[in-house]
Chains A and B, each alone.
Chain A
Amino acid sequence: MLPVIIDNFDKGSTEGLFSERVTSLGAFQGTWAKRPSWSLITKTEEERLGNRGKALKMEWKFKGGWCGWYTLLDGLDASEYNSITFWVKGRDGGERFDIGLADSKMQEMEIDAKYAGTVSFFLEGGITREWQKVKVPLARLGADVDITSLGSLVFWCRYDSPGDNSVVYIDDLMFENDPDVEAMEEYNMPRAEFDPEHPRSMWVWKIDPVVNLRARQDLFDLCSRTAIRTCYVYFGDFDQDDDPEYTKKLEEFLQQAHANHLHIEILTGNPTWCLKENHHYAIEWMKSFLEYNKRRPPEQRIDGCSFDVEPYLAGEWNTRRDEVKAEYLDLLQKLRTLIDSYEGQHFELGGAIPFFYESEGDFEENMLKYLDYSGLMVYYDSPRKVIDKSYYHVNLAAKVNKKMYIGVETQDLITMNQGPRSNTFYEEGWEEMERAIKQIEDEFRSSPGYGGIAMHCYYSYKLLQRGRNTPVKMRAEPEELPRFISGYQEKGVEIDGELDDWILDNPIILANKDQVQYGRGAWVDRRDYSLKAYAMWDKFNLYFAFDVTDNALVQNKTQQDMWEGDHIEFWLDLDLMMDYNEAMNSNDDYQFGFSPGNFDSLPPEVFIFTPELDPNEYVKFTEIGAKKTDHGYIVEVRIDLQMFKNIKVKDVKRILPEDMTAFGTNRAIYDSDSNYDEINQYKVHQGMLIGFSIDGSDCDDVNAPQKLLISTASPKRIWGDPTTFNVLYLYSEKNLDE
């Protein structure tokens, strides 16, 4: 089967006449935008695939509103093809857009295209400055889009640009049968091991597996691969007698689901149902399904209800919380009574709860009196945080002999504007998520209150990539970045707040207004706040010293609260090359807090903000000393490399001593040391480059934390973005390899 060329962008232009916008298919293309976002297209010869013709230059800025590009497909039947393919290169690299497809009916009804994935799903490492071929499997959309009559292909531009705006070049857009696509999809598809003691569950919004048979099969397939045994499926109002055809399909769906070892529970989530005046909506809704069950054999029955009514989303939660809680509990009691009135049905009642109910007194315990289980919305991408936040709830469930399912989030919360990256595994991908889940399961497996993992939610989990899917920013090569020279000190350094055993030749100095990232207006001069930083190393430790000038020392807080007083935030990107252009921190990126204490009752202290580690564990790998000076204070830190023993470093880049002419010169040759492949203990060596960022944080008033933050980050500090870091260079005058 020959490919169908949608557009090679060779003919016409995109300026002026509408007719010039015709594609190779004979259809039209164009852009849309809600300002202030905008998108432009130009057929250009400035960049093109090969030596002839043109490419499409797509330029956009996403800043509120929306924007994107479309090309009409005019009813094209793509059922003989397995993929949409095109070539892409970025002006800067790191550009990103989402890909969607609509069928003719959707086009006609002006229904938004279905999301197939972000372009980086289909390009390992994302868009670069080189031409790369993107292959979008059509199977991803088969349940949502009628492939036999396609309406349009769209690119949504809804991510911040790496530069002031984004520019990509697109060429040779086509439908084709690509032999790699099935294997690629198979490799990417989420999967998980089945734990019979703790079967997983999943929230299912946005699809209709009752009517849409393809969606139904896709749901069954995903559940089978990912060891999910219960689906909470969204249902609106229902009356079994209202639409006999629909009711028949519901029977079939439930019968097939049960044959596939799946339990199906109804799901809804209107927060205002918690209010007394709205209880009848919830009761009528549930009753309609219980009535349905009453006339059906067990294999055609609904197995329960996941009641995702979250009363804290109702405005009244803030004004009359106690009454709202009481009304919600009253509703749960009514629902329980209703369920119990239907004899002979095994119909479970579950409820979604946020982890912060821990601080709502006995509310959660009272909820659990009426529920069979609860789904805990503890949406973090750090297993430690999930575990810490889950303890109370799992233990409470055990106490009242109920089950707690721990929820994990897979939606793209950033694009949805509904939370930070740390609340979802969208960026980490399912492989890393499974590693995190394993830690969570290991923690709670023996607890009688632990039910299992609950996946939120179907449509995003289905598309979740195997590997990381992080924002990318192309940046200068490591040898071109500002360098912080760490001198080799064979005898190590005594951590006593004194600098007499330090090599003081190459400090990093933060003393200019331009370096103040927050509170620039509050910064008076270098006597107000400035610092000099020094680094040294030996084969077992990294050493850092900070000579801080500060006219007012304020620090009354410890651990994660130390940011409210004077302290130094310090980042290390330990495996620099692994994720060099990823603009999001990962497990090799450590954020330390170094507090000088208050030179009275509060001793100096090291805290690790991220990744989340047990302080009792890492404290033995750190040493800190501080001393007051006439202009401020000195903080001295030793970090034992054993702290990083779990970091596997591949592809270490280093500068060889013989290629160095002097400190700080750039005449360097890089070498990849294969001996470091897959090592299990973090080792440092001469010439090694490590990412770092120093953020000095000043506080002059105990009631006004973080008056200012002065940073080495460039061009501006973005928390957790390692592409804003610079490099620490481990230097030795003598060749340590000899």
Chain B
Amino acid sequence: MNNQLLKQVTAKVSAGLVFGCFVYFFFTLMLAARDWDNVFDLPDLPENTVMFDHEKIFAYRGRIGYFVLPPSKMGIYFDSKVNYQRPEEEETSEKDNDAMHKTGLDYFGGEAIADKEIWHDQESIKVIFDRKNVGLSFCGAYIMILGDLSSYGTMTFMIKGQDGGESFQIGVNDAISNKREDAVFIGSINRFLPGGITRDWQMVKINLTEFYGPDLSQIMSFVLDFNEESKGTFCFDDLRFYKDALYSPWENIYKTGYLLLDNFDYNYLNLLGRKANVYKKLPSYCKHTLDPDVFYGEQGKSLRLDFNKGGTGWTGYFTLLNQIDGEWFDLSGFDRVTFMVKGKKGGETFEIGMADKNWVTIGDSLKAGPIEKYLPNGVTQEWQEVAIKLTDFGLLDFSEMGSFVINFHKKSEGAIWIDDLKFYLKQEEEEEPEW
């Protein structure tokens, strides 16, 4: 239920004062009792928020829209045929707003479907996408927030796919990034739905501290970016903002006994939402891709590294545990890192390194050694598990960790695949006694 709806409902019952009072108090009590707000309840943007002229005209809370550069296609609209019904609420009827705007469905060969400007309670947002990896082509959608989220701890929403398995990356624009047309992304939806989108409604919980960098008091929009080639349809509903943090990122680590830093299934941000990339100093270079044709396990993708280490230069891959210029990751409760590896030909070689805060500043890492140290027969064409004690990386400050590194140190050319990069918690008996 939103404030605008409340106002409309209240207006409708003005002829019947007693009934109106009842409705008013009913909804007021509901609002007072609940521990969350919806998008229309959010505090307004601070008065000094700078907006471009076009934003002053077109931007309003609850508006949906899209961005696309063909040949990708994109559509988004309010769908009154699909609605997530909260178990605690009675169904209410609501009439459509007549205002029109196109939402991109013409890209899909259909008519430019008219829809409403405001997201109403009895409808979901339907998103249709067809992302092509051609040139600079891109596509994505957004929901305008135009609100101050600084007093909230968690956002949640419900989502279900037409087929299941739909995927996108999540971001927000604040008043600054909105003008740059470049949201602050925190990774794939799958980070927050480990089983991925299914055909059933599922709740997604996002701790707002995930959005490191943007000014949460000036959030312009919530962004869904389709960053990999795929197509699909899904519905999005019941966007809520809770004051409290509803979960801890550590819950799952303690539950499983390990931190899955990346399974390389979804996004170039790892599963902590941190940056991963290659480094290269010519003539040495390396390229990384998420390979849908090669993976460890039953499904997903793996990290493919195509490398060419020359006689000079350097190259490799890193994935960050720390937030850049933000918090460092505490690995002191962990004792080993494991990952799966296979090579294109077999015999590929590399070093495994890690960097703490100090080594990140220096711009290097401490190496546990070459892969042959952990795989006596070396890398082969079959998946092998590599397990490395963290103490093998030397004297790092594990309470402030920065990165995990694959460094190609020998002059060679080839390709390797990496999957399921995990850090395991120390078992109880391994913990140091407290005395």
Residues in chain B near residue A15, CB distance under 8 A: 52, 54, 179
Query: In the complex, what's the smallest C-beta–C-beta distance from B168 to chain A, in angstroms?
Result: 19
Q: Does B410 contact A (CB under 8 A)?
A: yes
Shortest Cβ distance from B367 into A: residue = A272
Whether A239 and B411, one on each chain, are in contact in the complex, defined by CB atoms closer than 8 angstroms, is yes
B174-208 interface mask toward A, CB cutoff 8 Å, 1 = contact, 0 = none? 00110111101000000000000000000000000
Q: Does A519 contact B (CB under 8 A)?
A: no
Q: Does A504 contact B (CB under 8 A)?
A: no
Q: Which of A234, A236, A238, A316 contacts B395 (CB 8 A)?
A: A316
Residues in chain A near residue B280, CB distance under 8 A: 109, 111
Shortest Cβ distance from A236 into B: residue = B312
A281-319 interface mask toward B, CB cutoff 8 Å, 1 = contact, 0 = none? 000000000000000000000000000000001111011
A interface secondary structure, majority? loop
Q: Interface range on chain A: under 10, 10 to 19, 20 to 34, or 35 or more?
A: 35 or more
Q: Does B87 contact A (CB under 8 A)?
A: no
Whether A33 and B411, one on each chain, are in contact in the complex, defined by CB atoms closer than 8 angstroms, is no
Whether B54 and A33, one on each chain, are in contact in the complex, defined by CB atoms closer than 8 angstroms, is no
Whether B396 and A315, one on each chain, are in contact in the complex, defined by CB atoms closer than 8 angstroms, is yes
Given contacts A236-B311, A316-B395, A16 and B411 within 8 Å (CB-CB): no
Restricting to B305-329, which residues have a CB under 8 Å from any CB of A?
311-314, 324-326
A314-345 interface mask toward B, CB cutoff 8 Å, 1 = contact, 0 = none? 11101100000000000000000000000000
A210 and B54 CA atoms in complex are apart in Å by 55
A22-40 interface mask toward B, CB cutoff 8 Å, 1 = contact, 0 = none? 0000000011111110111
Given contacts A236-B314, A243-B411, A32 and B326 within 8 Å (CB-CB): no
Restricting to B265-301, which residues have a CB under 8 Å from any CB of A?
280-283, 285, 287
Whether B285 and A237, one on each chain, are in contact in the complex, defined by CB atoms closer than 8 angstroms, is no
Residues in chain B near residue A32, CB distance under 8 A: 182
**Of listed A109, A206, A243, A314, residue having the most chain B CB within 10 A:** A109
A239 and B410 CA atoms in complex are apart in Å by 10
Q: Does A160 contact B (CB under 8 A)?
A: no
Whether A211 and B52, one on each chain, are in contact in the complex, defined by CB atoms closer than 8 angstroms, is no
Q: Does B60 contact A (CB under 8 A)?
A: no
Residues in chain B near residue A314, CB distance under 8 A: 394-395
Whether A272 and B394, one on each chain, are in contact in the complex, defined by CB atoms closer than 8 angstroms, is yes
Residues in chain A near residue B214, CB distance under 8 A: 35-36
Residues in chain B near residue A34, CB distance under 8 A: 213, 324-325
Shortest Cβ distance from A21 into B: residue = B181
Q: Which of B177, B324, B394 contacts A64 (CB 8 A)?
A: B324
Query: In the complex, what's the smallest C-beta–C-beta distance from B139 to chain A, in angstroms?
Result: 12
A235 and B182 CA atoms in complex are apart in Å by 40
Residues in chain A near residue B182, CB distance under 8 A: 31-33
Restricting to B378-431, which residues have a CB under 8 Å from any CB of A?
394-397, 409-411
Residues in chain A near residue B213, CB distance under 8 A: 34-36, 65
A318 and B69 CA atoms in complex are apart in Å by 55
A65 and B280 CA atoms in complex are apart in Å by 20
A417 and B180 CA atoms in complex are apart in Å by 27
Residues in chain B near residue A208, CB distance under 8 A: 282-283, 312-313
Residues in chain B near residue A236, CB distance under 8 A: 311-314, 409
Q: Does B32 contact A (CB under 8 A)?
A: no
Whether B311 and A242, one on each chain, are in contact in the complex, defined by CB atoms closer than 8 angstroms, is yes
Q: Does A246 contact B (CB under 8 A)?
A: yes
Restricting to A25-69, which residues have a CB under 8 Å from any CB of B?
30-36, 38-40, 64-65
Restricting to B352-376, which residues have a CB under 8 Å from any CB of A?
361-362, 366-367
Restricting to B208-242, which residues have a CB under 8 Å from any CB of A?
212-214
Query: In the complex, what's the smallest C-beta–C-beta distance from A328 to chain B, in angstroms?
Result: 15
Residues in chain B near residue A237, CB distance under 8 A: 311, 409-411
A38 and B180 CA atoms in complex are apart in Å by 9
Whether A319 and B395, one on each chain, are in contact in the complex, defined by CB atoms closer than 8 angstroms, is yes
Restricting to A405-432, which residues have a CB under 8 Å from any CB of B?
417-418
Whether A417 and B361, one on each chain, are in contact in the complex, defined by CB atoms closer than 8 angstroms, is yes
Whether A18 and B312, one on each chain, are in contact in the complex, defined by CB atoms closer than 8 angstroms, is no
Whether B325 and A31, one on each chain, are in contact in the complex, defined by CB atoms closer than 8 angstroms, is no
Residues in chain A near residue B181, CB distance under 8 A: 18
Whether A315 and B366, one on each chain, are in contact in the complex, defined by CB atoms closer than 8 angstroms, is yes
Shortest Cβ distance from B183 into A: residue = A35
A141 and B212 CA atoms in complex are apart in Å by 36
Residues in chain B near residue A111, CB distance under 8 A: 280, 282, 285
Residues in chain A near residue B54, CB distance under 8 A: 15-16
B319-344 interface mask toward A, CB cutoff 8 Å, 1 = contact, 0 = none? 00000111000000000000000000
Query: In the complex, what's the smallest C-beta–C-beta distance from A401 to chain B, in angstroms?
Result: 34
A36 and B218 CA atoms in complex are apart in Å by 13
Shortest Cβ distance from A235 into B: residue = B312
Query: In the complex, what's the smallest C-beta–C-beta distance from B277 to chain A, in angstroms?
Result: 8
Whether A238 and B180, one on each chain, are in contact in the complex, defined by CB atoms closer than 8 angstroms, is no
A235 and B394 CA atoms in complex are apart in Å by 24
A206 and B281 CA atoms in complex are apart in Å by 8
Residues in chain A near residue B52, CB distance under 8 A: 15
Whether A65 and B311, one on each chain, are in contact in the complex, defined by CB atoms closer than 8 angstroms, is no
Residues in chain A near residue B184, CB distance under 8 A: 35
Residues in chain B near residue A246, CB distance under 8 A: 311
Whether A31 and B180, one on each chain, are in contact in the complex, defined by CB atoms closer than 8 angstroms, is yes
Residues in chain B near residue A243, CB distance under 8 A: 311, 411
Whether B180 and A210, one on each chain, are in contact in the complex, defined by CB atoms closer than 8 angstroms, is no
Query: In the complex, what's the smallest C-beta–C-beta distance from A205 to chain B, in angstroms?
Result: 10
Query: In the complex, what's the smallest C-beta–C-beta distance from A268 to chain B, in angstroms?
Result: 12
Shortest Cβ distance from B361 into A: residue = A417
Query: In the complex, what's the smallest C-beta–C-beta distance from B319 to chain A, in angstroms?
Result: 16
Residues in chain A near residue B411, CB distance under 8 A: 237, 239, 242-243
A329 and B367 CA atoms in complex are apart in Å by 22
Whether A211 and B312, one on each chain, are in contact in the complex, defined by CB atoms closer than 8 angstroms, is yes
Residues in chain B near residue A210, CB distance under 8 A: 311-312
Residues in chain A near residue B283, CB distance under 8 A: 208, 211
Residues in chain B near residue A272, CB distance under 8 A: 366-367, 394
Residues in chain B near residue A318, CB distance under 8 A: 395
A629 and B287 CA atoms in complex are apart in Å by 74
A243 and B412 CA atoms in complex are apart in Å by 11
Shortest Cβ distance from A34 into B: residue = B324
A417 and B69 CA atoms in complex are apart in Å by 39
Restricting to B44-86, which residues have a CB under 8 Å from any CB of A?
52, 54, 69
Whether A238 and B366, one on each chain, are in contact in the complex, defined by CB atoms closer than 8 angstroms, is no
A242 and B310 CA atoms in complex are apart in Å by 10
**Of listed A31, A35, A36, A246, residue having the most chain B CB within 10 A:** A35
Shortest Cβ distance from B410 into A: residue = A237
Shortest Cβ distance from B325 into A: residue = A64
Shortest Cβ distance from A315 into B: residue = B395
Shortest Cβ distance from B287 into A: residue = A109
Residues in chain A near residue B285, CB distance under 8 A: 109, 111
Query: In the complex, what's the smallest C-beta–C-beta distance from B299 to chain A, in angstroms?
Result: 29
Shortest Cβ distance from B362 into A: residue = A313
Residues in chain B near residue A39, CB distance under 8 A: 180
Residues in chain B near residue A40, CB distance under 8 A: 176, 179-180
Query: In the complex, what's the smallest C-beta–C-beta distance from A53 to chain B, in angstroms?
Result: 20
Residues in chain B near residue A235, CB distance under 8 A: 312
Shortest Cβ distance from A39 into B: residue = B180
Residues in chain B near residue A31, CB distance under 8 A: 180, 182
Query: In the complex, what's the smallest C-beta–C-beta distance from A387 to chain B, in angstroms?
Result: 28
Whether B177 and A315, one on each chain, are in contact in the complex, defined by CB atoms closer than 8 angstroms, is no
Shortest Cβ distance from B180 into A: residue = A31
A239 and B326 CA atoms in complex are apart in Å by 42
A234-275 interface mask toward B, CB cutoff 8 Å, 1 = contact, 0 = none? 111111001100100000000000000000000000001001
Whether B395 and A418, one on each chain, are in contact in the complex, defined by CB atoms closer than 8 angstroms, is no
A246 and B410 CA atoms in complex are apart in Å by 15
Query: In the complex, what's the smallest C-beta–C-beta distance from A618 to chain B, in angstroms?
Result: 37
Listed A/B pairs (13) with beta-carbon separation below 8 Å:
A32-B182, A33-B177, A33-B180, A64-B324, A65-B325, A109-B280, A208-B282, A208-B312, A210-B312, A234-B312, A235-B312, A238-B311, A318-B395
Those 4 A-B pairs whose CB atoms lie nearest each other, nearest first: A315-B395, A35-B213, A64-B325, A38-B176
User: What would 10 more interface pairs be, CB under 8 Å, given A18-B181, A34-B213?
Assistant: A31-B182, A35-B184, A35-B213, A39-B180, A64-B325, A109-B285, A236-B312, A236-B409, A237-B410, A242-B311
